[in-house]
Structure 1
Amino acid sequence: MTFSRRRFLQSATALAVLPKAVRASSTDLVARKAIQQIAPNGFPETPVWSYGGGVPGPEIRLAQGARLQRRLVNDLPQPTTIHWHGIRIDNAMDGVPGLTQDAVTPGEDFHYDFVVPDAGTYWYHAHNRSVEQVARGLYGPLIVEEAEPLDVDHDLTLMLDDWRLDPETAHIVDDFDNGHDQSHAGRLGNLVSVNGQFDPAFSVRSRDRLRLRLINASNARIYDLSLDGLVGRIVALDGMPLETPMRVEDSFPLAPAQRADLVVDVQARPDRVAGLVSREREGSFGLVRFTVSGQSARTGQPSIAPLPPNPLPMVTLDSAPIHRMTLQGGAMRWLESAHLGETLLSGRELAQLGRFWALNGYAERPQDPFLDAQRGSVHRIEFVNETAFPHAMHLHGHHFRLILADGRLGPWRDTVLVERGQTRQIALVADNPGDWLLHCHMLGHAASGMMSWFRVT
């Protein structure tokens, strides 16, 4: 696998690093500047923003039902918060400025304290100026373990991200408000990393069984992933176990913020290399290498059983009202008009303000909720994508079930990919009280209009 300077986009912008000491305990998450080797060896190191000095931030692992307690210490030049993505937690701990808490200003801190009810693969990330702060590296994995661990030889967390780096300095290109990105597919990088590294390698044996916890931390990139020298099944999506694990036959998509847990067996022979592969327009590229040395003592490959289910509510669609959310705007489908607050502005006026998208005619989070639901009620939300681009729609504080084309209930998710021109329905049991964000997780789209919210009372 090779990488050359021509694969970098050209830009001269650089990020200065001004280290600053803070007092913090070993369990605190200190948001601060750091330096990391993101690009291949031979390229300069990259200034990043981090939790605790590295990207990703420290992996948090705890048992299902345990209490998570972390203090965010902000040693950055911007206010920030942490959103605990996919965790059904108390509303006050959700980390959304202006909706659930005030942003934590530089030099201040905030104590997060909540119980994790569901086993699975989750993550945490900045939720103020997210299009910039996540792109600079403010994210990390959150793993909630099942009561009984799986019989695997390796349990590996793999956080996928793409970086837009200057080819000469390897600094992050500082164009987060780029109108072209925001009005098109979003901020796409020119280098893909896994766990903050380019082309990492793990040592395995032939016939080893692996649990791969895949997390897409990219701002906008949708991965089309396949396996090489590995065979297995997807056992969970967005942290929630599948009733029937899905065999990976060819490839599968992973949109921004989505997760997929795989249980795979190493089929590659000793002295060969297996891998996780990204399929792209110009060909397929290895993301992770598994160097095979020796052979496991496993004599056979037992079937892959479903993970134990999480305590999710029962979904019944009888009499569930349908709430339509129309995704509007963007390049090639420009907004004619939309609301900012109570003011109706033309598409030209909105573009001058950096607003290119709308949800149900609003180019920012509206004053009134999209849905005002009684606790425990069931609702259908129909996402109608009238734009020329896909969108990864994420609901805070809840998981929902996809409604398949034939009307059956599909898997539990917290982020649904809605392709251009597509209509997708989800079934939501509004069982977690509070005010919750609903937005596109292409973070530039959210910053430029695709932001709404719902209330559970």
Structure 2
Amino acid sequence: MKLSWKLKSIIAVGALSVVLAGCSGSMSGMDHSKMNMEGTKETAKTTNTQTEKSVVLTGKEFNLTASQSNQEIAPGKTLPVWTFNNSVPGPQIRVKQGDTIKVNLKNQLPEPVTIHWHGVPVPNAMDGIPGVTQNAVQPGQSFTYEFKADVPGTYWYHSHQDSVNQLDRGLYGAFIVEPKEGTDVDRDYTLVLDEWMSSGEMSGMNMSGGNMSEMDHSKMNMGSSDGKDNKSSMNMSGNLSGMDHSTMNMGNENKASTNTDNSSMNMGHDMSMYDLYTINGKSGSLVDQLPVKEGDKVRIRLINAGFLSHQIHLHGHEFKVIATDGQPINNPGILNDNVVSIAPGERYDIEFVASNPGQWLIEDHGDKAAVKGMKATIAYEGAPAGSDKANEAEKLTAVDMSRYGQVGKANFKLDQKYNLEYTMNLNTEMKNGEMVYTINRKTFPETEPINVKKGDTVKVRLVNNSKTDDHPMHLHGHFFQVLSKNGKPLEGSPIIKDTLNLKPGEEYVVAFEANNEGNWMFHCHDLHHASAGMVTELKYTDYKTNFVADPNAGNKPE
């Protein structure tokens, strides 16, 4: 077992780096409605709030520095963190649709790092997958990401190097693509949701089974993308297959941990140890207020950067869900006293009119004590403090997105002819005395890839056979349309997503067009599950890459 990240953080705590104005990570409490999005250089919009500074970057070129720091996560609780620009989350990046942007990543961490643009249909070379699209950026080195922001919406960025650990340490931020015509809201807030351990120990470092960092990547097959098996140890075409999982220890180093809460199956990682839930890197009273004026139209972008689902409830107002994973809902209906269930990797945009003066909460619901920390206050100007009461234990119905909104123009139909149909049976299994997460009874890299050619239409049937585990499945580089849930066609708006959560026993059918050539990951975004096998690939058989993997780069794609 390698040195824990917490100890490394303490050793290297002096190696702090601030590229722009230092901020400790909260992005809430900001009015983006009048932001100047036209600058061609990186611009930092800094707003003082009750607790700290918030940074939003606009323009076309940005600098992100990955470094170690410490951040007060909850009142009196400061934890060692890994940051982009010295904050968790990293700075919010907001760009205009159609702009070609550059992001210069500098790594001042003691380990390699990358950036994946979650949900953004970037060219394959910019996807940020170490050993597949690029070599991990080494300590002291830099890498520039460049791509055109074609599709407006709510996205996020995060490290994809040993991501089960690096996300847990804080390497993520929001990425917003504004439509060319602008938005018609008065207030535009982004809330990034996450979970932390107050002990300061994160994720896979105490989880020998779910930690890809212990894997032998030396035999990683980067071979032919023509679908043929290539057993050479390092043929360089950018393929994820060939990773040696043979020594993967799924055991529990902490024998005292027996809790299987939140579907962890006790594979060496007790999910109940996430005892601090945060909004924009802060918990409880440290979370910034969201100021509004009566009559404002308010948009709240919810991004789940954690490993647990959250049930978000807006108090005191009717609202609409106007987008999922950044893609618009057709004629969304008015909701009241519903929760929005947001799984790892998902995004939901909600909108409401500020028509009920006072102070109102937007909060997580559930029976865990940690939910009490995941709440923010919507504060009307001049409203008395504390005029709303928390009610996080109330059981409310979640919005059923399969029946929400109105039927509209769709790209695909359930009964049309497809070039390729594929079934992914997802499961939690014991193999050789170890807990693994499988696709069609196999763990990565033995999972069967989805082999396509550009222009193919693809229908995928996803089935969650796990008894207790949710599986939020994320497809890189593409959007898919959700066609059916549990055998029933969708009744409402066409639903376009890149991350779809399957609860135990659920079945979905989705479809997409193979319109972005490359080698792409399709994996569970509970990254503990991905690192323990639940990964496959979408491979374009006619795609060739110039990327050459460096066997000494320490590439860890999950």
Question: TM-score, with normalisation over the residues of structure 1?
Answer: 0.82
Deviations 1:147-182 (A, max 9, x none): 22333221111111111122xxx6657525465675
SS of match in other structure, 2:132: coil
- Do 1:17 and 1:34's aligned partners in 2 also have CA atoms closer than 8 Å? no
1:319 lines up with 2:417 in the alignment:
yes
Which of 332, 339, 363 is equivalent to 1:277?
363
SS of match in other structure, 1:133: helix
Deviations 1:112-166 (A, max 9, x none): 0111110010000000111110000000010100122333221111111111122
CA drift of 1:274 comes to 0.9
- Partner of residue 227, structure 1: 314
- Do 1:434 and 1:455's aligned partners in 2 also have CA atoms closer than 8 Å? yes
- Do 2:16 and 2:67's aligned partners in 1 also have CA atoms closer than 8 Å? no
Show structure 1 runs of 5+ residues with no match: 1-12, 296-306, 336-346
Q: Distance between the aligned counterparts of 1:151 and 1:359, measured in 2?
A: 43
CA drift of 1:184 comes to 5.0
Q: Distance between the aligned counterparts of 1:139 and 1:24, measured in 2?
A: 16
Specify the code of the residue in structure 2 equivalent to 1:94.
D
Which of 10, 29, 40 is equivalent to 1:16?
10
CA drift of 1:268 comes to 3.3
The structure in which a higher percent of residues are strand is 1
- Partner of residue 236, structure 1: 323
Give runs of aligned pairs for residues 397-436 of structure 1, distance below 5 A: 397-405=477-485, 406-408=488-490, 410-436=494-520
Q: Distance between the aligned counterparts of 1:193 and 1:446, measured in 2?
A: 23
Q: Larger deviation: 369-378 or 113-122? A: 369-378
1:175 lines up with 2:210 in the alignment:
no
Question: TM-score, with normalisation over the residues of structure 2?
Answer: 0.68
Which of 122, 125, 141 is equivalent to 2:155?
122
Judged with a 3 Å threshold, the aligned counterparts in structure 2 of structure 1 residues 100 and 390 are, in CA distance, closer, same or farther, namely same
Which of 281, 295, 316 is equivalent to 1:196?
281
SS of match in other structure, 1:16: helix
- Do 1:58 and 1:140's aligned partners in 2 also have CA atoms closer than 8 Å? yes
Deviations 1:249-282 (A, max 9, x none): 311210001001111122432xx32121211025
1:38 lines up with 2:73 in the alignment:
yes
Specify the code of the residue in structure 1 equivalent to 2:417.
S
CA drift of 1:450 comes to 0.7
Q: Larger deviation: 233-242 or 283-292? A: 283-292
Instruction: Tell me the percent identity.
Output: 32
Q: Distance between the aligned counterparts of 1:426 and 1:281, measured in 2?
A: 32
Give runs of aligned pairs for residues 306-385 of structure 1, distance below 5 A: 314-317=411-414, 318-320=416-418, 321-329=420-428, 334-335=429-430, 347-348=431-432, 351=434, 356-366=436-446, 370-385=449-464
Q: Distance between the aligned counterparts of 1:313 and 1:372, measured in 2?
A: 24
- Do 2:16 and 2:86's aligned partners in 1 also have CA atoms closer than 8 Å? no
SS of match in other structure, 2:361: strand
- Do 2:17 and 2:67's aligned partners in 1 also have CA atoms closer than 8 Å? no
Specify the code of the residue in structure 2 equivalent to 1:378.
T
Judged with a 3 Å threshold, the aligned counterparts in structure 2 of structure 1 residues 316 and 433 are, in CA distance, closer, same or farther, namely farther
- Do 2:359 and 2:380's aligned partners in 1 also have CA atoms closer than 8 Å? yes
- Partner of residue 3, structure 1: none
Q: Distance between the aligned counterparts of 1:151 and 1:80, measured in 2?
A: 37
Figure out how many residues of one structure are paired with residues of the other and give that number: 405
Deviations 1:13-67 (A, max 9, x none): 7641513367969732111001211112xx1422110001001111111100111
Extract structure 1 runs of 4+ deviating beyond 6 A: 21-26
CA drift of 1:245 comes to 1.8
Judged with a 3 Å threshold, the aligned counterparts in structure 2 of structure 1 residues 196 and 217 are, in CA distance, closer, same or farther, namely same
CA drift of 1:230 comes to 2.5
- Do 1:369 and 1:455's aligned partners in 2 also have CA atoms closer than 8 Å? no
- Do 2:190 and 2:300's aligned partners in 1 also have CA atoms closer than 8 Å? yes
Judged with a 3 Å threshold, the aligned counterparts in structure 2 of structure 1 residues 155 and 71 are, in CA distance, closer, same or farther, namely same
Specify the code of the residue in structure 2 equivalent to 1:280.
G
Q: Larger deviation: 382-391 or 260-269? A: 260-269
Judged with a 3 Å threshold, the aligned counterparts in structure 2 of structure 1 residues 243 and 223 are, in CA distance, closer, same or farther, namely same
- Do 1:235 and 1:246's aligned partners in 2 also have CA atoms closer than 8 Å? no
Q: Distance between the aligned counterparts of 1:217 and 1:68, measured in 2?
A: 23
- Do 1:62 and 1:144's aligned partners in 2 also have CA atoms closer than 8 Å? yes
Judged with a 3 Å threshold, the aligned counterparts in structure 2 of structure 1 residues 94 and 282 are, in CA distance, closer, same or farther, namely closer
CA drift of 1:348 comes to 1.8
